[in-house]
């Protein structure tokens, strides 16, 4: 159903911005060859979405499914071919993640990689070929905050669902429960949580009664440590056990585990483990809980359970996640309702969220706009900023659940240019003034590529993005990639809806608006 949603959305609403650009006289075309590198944990919906978005933008696509999910990848390709997509427009490449995969990713004819996987994988791709466009949804270390104002029964239900659905093998899974002291210290809370976790039925994926299925493979590395080894101050509320479950490969069937006493800054607090292990942290108050939630380099999903509206607003104003959930589970994003993608190191490439209104646009090449000195241009940008980017949007309009798309201005943008006497630079200055984003210009004649990159990478407040209007060598690109500074190679355009999308990051907020079926006032 999610794959169908992607195809329908990208063919209609998801293409509206490009249609508007064409109507405004812009040149819109595909970027060339887009490689979609699919994950094994959602092997159907996510690759289908990447393929559909790239095709809608006018590209040729190479689909490379995960080695663990090649049969599903072949099925996806066959469905597109049977629907009429030519074989030379969509091709399927089945290979291991070795030399052949490396050759595919680094091939000079590839313009963009759409990746769902680990942050380390995206960084590796960019190190292999620094001028590559990588749009990646990457890792998550996701937490659900529970305050004394929560409905504790519902909070426990959603924490368990978020942590152990799919055996925890989701980048959006709740790996941490950050519980304010009054609740954490209550022995009845821990007893009820333990009962909920131990009631989960572990079984084969083919058994309809299974609530927690097997792992993709026997655990190694970080996941093995998370399942078997406690750190200082930690104890097991529920100790995970390797089971001998009929119908599952040896070493893959594990009962869920819950670690108590996870300390601030500890290994489990900051490390993605990708399996059925939940850690509980004790927070002094909500401020402390938010600080613990924001502490790491990752910012994919996060949630809060509280019936206090002031607490919820305080949390929403400060939480550093791309997908924020209020009084519900923190997994299971739906196309258009909750466009999906993270902040910080949970996203690479700085693009718009999958399943959202800007996703197809970033996969197209948009140019040809005459950048002139028309004084009406700033007014047009101000109008679009006020009408669209400065206000919350809830396109689905459900009464039982608010699903808001919010645009947050970037902190700062730096343009790397050959000349400041350039109308493109003038346009960027205008847009910076409209958005309130700090803006600076670096001339290639004033500092070398390496000096430029090193300066930005060592700044106390690094810029979020470099708008590249001049060449930049590979070593400088590597430095910027390592510093998590996005390199944006798209030329500035005078269409406000398209250009303003380069100056914001998106946040999707999903908030339950009922209790036990009764709508909240």
Express each pLDDT in 86-128 by its tens digit: 999 999 999 988 899 899 999 999 999 999 999 999 999 999 9
pLDDT score, position 420: 81
Instruction: Work out the mean pLDDT of the chain and round it to a whole number.
Output: 96
Torsion angles phi and psi, residue 326, rounded to 5: -120, 120
Q: Are residues 244 and 358 in the same domain?
A: no
- 274 falls in which pLDDT band (50, 70, 90)? very high
Q: Are residues 409 and 354 in the same domain?
A: no
Are 50 and 36 in contact by the 8 Å Cβ rule? The answer is yes
Q: What CATH number is given to the structural domain containing 221?
A: 3.40.309.10
pLDDT score, position 98: 85
pLDDT score, position 423: 87
First-last CA distance in the chain: 32
Q: What CATH number is given to the structural domain containing 455?
A: 3.40.605.10
- As for how many domains the chain has, the answer is 3
Q: Are residues 146 and 131 in the same domain?
A: no
The alpha carbon torsion through 502, 488, 342, 252 (nearest 10 deg) reads 150
Q: Averaged over 45-57, what is the pLDDT?
A: 98
Q: Are residues 386 and 356 in the same domain?
A: no
Burial call 460-483: b when 16+ CB within 10 Å, e when fewer: eeebbbbbbbeebeeebbebbbee
pLDDT score, position 520: 84
Q: Are residues 362 and 259 in the same domain?
A: no
pLDDT score, position 517: 84
Helix (H, G, I), strand (E, B) or coil at 11: helix
Which DSSP symbol is given to 493?
A: -
- 80 falls in which pLDDT band (50, 70, 90)? very high
Residue 491: exposure state from Cβ atoms within 10 A (0-12, 13-18, ≥19)? middle
56: tokens are 């809608």
Q: What percent of the chain has pLDDT over 70?
A: 99
Half-sphere exposure of 212 (CA within 13 A, CB side): 30
294 pLDDT above the threshold of 80: yes
pLDDT score, position 376: 79
Nearest to 116 by CA among 171, 69, 169: 171
Q: Are residues 310 and 407 in the same domain?
A: no
| Catalytic residue annotation | 137, 171
Q: Residue 234 belongs to what domain range?
A: 142-339
- The span from the CA of 113 to the CA of 105, in Å, is 7
Q: Averaged over 151-177, what is the pLDDT?
A: 97
Q: Are residues 381 and 317 in the same domain?
A: no
Q: Averaged over 496-500, what is the pLDDT?
A: 95
- Give the torsion sign (CA, 242, 246, 252, 258): negative
372 pLDDT above the threshold of 60: no
pLDDT score, position 371: 56
CB atoms within 10 A of CB 287: 12
pLDDT score, position 277: 98
CA 161 to chain centroid, in Å, comes to 20
pLDDT score, position 373: 58
Residue 259's alpha-carbon distances to 232, 269, 285, 405, in angstroms, are 11, 11, 20, 34
CB atoms within 10 A of CB 95: 15
CA 271 to chain centroid, in Å, comes to 17
- Give the torsion sign (CA, 465, 471, 477, 480): negative
Q: Are residues 322 and 415 in the same domain?
A: no
CB atoms within 10 A of CB 277: 26
pLDDT score, position 475: 98
* Of 166-175, 215-224, 258-267, 420-429, the least confident: 420-429
Torsion angles phi and psi, residue 477, rounded to 5: -60, -40
433 pLDDT above the threshold of 60: yes
Whole-structure pTM value: 0.96
- The span from the CA of 440 to the CA of 442, in Å, is 7
447 pLDDT above the threshold of 60: yes
Q: Averaged over 46-75, what is the pLDDT?
A: 97
pLDDT score, position 46: 98
CB atoms within 10 A of CB 186: 14
Q: Averaged over 34-50, what is the pLDDT?
A: 97
Q: Are residues 275 and 329 in the same domain?
A: yes
375 pLDDT above the threshold of 80: no
Q: Are residues 446 and 409 in the same domain?
A: yes
pLDDT score, position 97: 83
73 pLDDT above the threshold of 70: yes
Helix (H, G, I), strand (E, B) or coil at 13: helix
pLDDT score, position 374: 66
pLDDT score, position 284: 98
CA 136 to chain centroid, in Å, comes to 8
pLDDT score, position 126: 97
Q: Are residues 275 and 129 in the same domain?
A: no
265 pLDDT above the threshold of 90: yes
CA angle 263, 264, 265 (to 5 degrees): 110
pLDDT score, position 96: 82
Q: Are residues 94 and 42 in the same domain?
A: yes
């Amino acid at each position: 159903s999610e794959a169908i949603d992607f195809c329908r959305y990208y063919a209609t609403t998801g293409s509206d911005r490009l249609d508007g650009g064409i109507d405004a006289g812009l040149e819109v075309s595909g970027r060339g060859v887009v490689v979609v590198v699919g994950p094994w944990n959602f092997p159907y919906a996510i690759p289908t979405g990447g393929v559909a978005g790239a095709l809608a933008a006018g590209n040729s696509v190479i689909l490379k499914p995960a080695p663990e999910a090649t049969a599903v990848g072949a099925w996806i390709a066959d469905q597109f071919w049977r629907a009429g997509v030519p074989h030379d427009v969509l091709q399927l490449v089945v290979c291991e993640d070795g030399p052949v995969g490396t050759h595919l990713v680094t091939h000079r004819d590839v313009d963009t990689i759409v990746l769902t996987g680990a942050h380390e994988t995206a960084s590796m791709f960019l190190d292999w070929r620094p001028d590559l466009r990588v749009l990646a949804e990457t890792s998550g270390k996701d937490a659900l905050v529970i305050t004394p104002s929560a409905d504790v029964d519902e909070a426990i239900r959603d924490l368990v669902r978020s942590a152990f659905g799919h055996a925890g093998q989701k980048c959006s899974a709740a790996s941490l429960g950050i519980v304010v002291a009054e609740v954490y210290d209550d022995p009845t809370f821990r007893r009820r949580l333990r009962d909920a976790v131990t009631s989960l039925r572990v079984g084969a994926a083919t058994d309809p009664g299974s609530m927690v299925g097997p792992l993709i493979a026997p655990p190694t590395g970080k996941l093995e440590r998370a399942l078997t080894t406690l750190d200082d101050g930690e104890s097991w509320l529920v100790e995970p056990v390797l089971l001998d479950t009929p119908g599952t490969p040896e070493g893959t069937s594990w009962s869920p585990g819950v670690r108590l006493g996870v300390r601030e800054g500890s290994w489990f607090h900051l490390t993605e483990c990708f399996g059925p292990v939940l850690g509980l942290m004790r927070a002094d108050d909500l401020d402390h809980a938010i600080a613990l939630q924001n502490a790491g380099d990752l910012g994919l999903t996060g949630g809060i359970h509280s019936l206090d509206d002031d607490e919820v607003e305080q949390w929403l104003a400060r939480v550093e996640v791309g997908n924020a959930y209020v009084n519900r589970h923190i997994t299971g994003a739906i196309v258009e309702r909750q466009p999906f993608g993270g902040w910080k190191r949970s996203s690479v490439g700085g693009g718009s969220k999958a399943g959202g209104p800007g996703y197809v646009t970033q996969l197209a090449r948009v140019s040809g706009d005459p950048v002139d000195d028309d004084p009406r241009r700033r007014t047009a940008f101000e109008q679009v900023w006020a009408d669209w980017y400065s206000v919350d949007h809830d396109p689905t309009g459900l009464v039982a659940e608010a699903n808001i798309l919010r645009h947050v201005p970037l902190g700062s943008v730096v343009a790397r240019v050959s000349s400041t006497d350039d109308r493109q630079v003038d346009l960027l200055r205008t847009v910076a003034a409209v958005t309130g984003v700090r803006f600076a210009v670096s001339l290639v004649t004033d500092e070398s590529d390496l000096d430029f990159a090193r300066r930005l990478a060592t700044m106390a407040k690094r810029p979020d993005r470099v708008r590249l209007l001049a060449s930049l060598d590979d070593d400088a690109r590597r430095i910027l990639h390592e510093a998590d500074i996005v390199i944006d190679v798209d030329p500035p355009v005078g269409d406000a809806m398209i250009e303003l999308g380069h100056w914001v990051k998106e946040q999707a907020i999903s908030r339950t608006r009922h209790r036990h079926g009764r709508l909240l006032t």
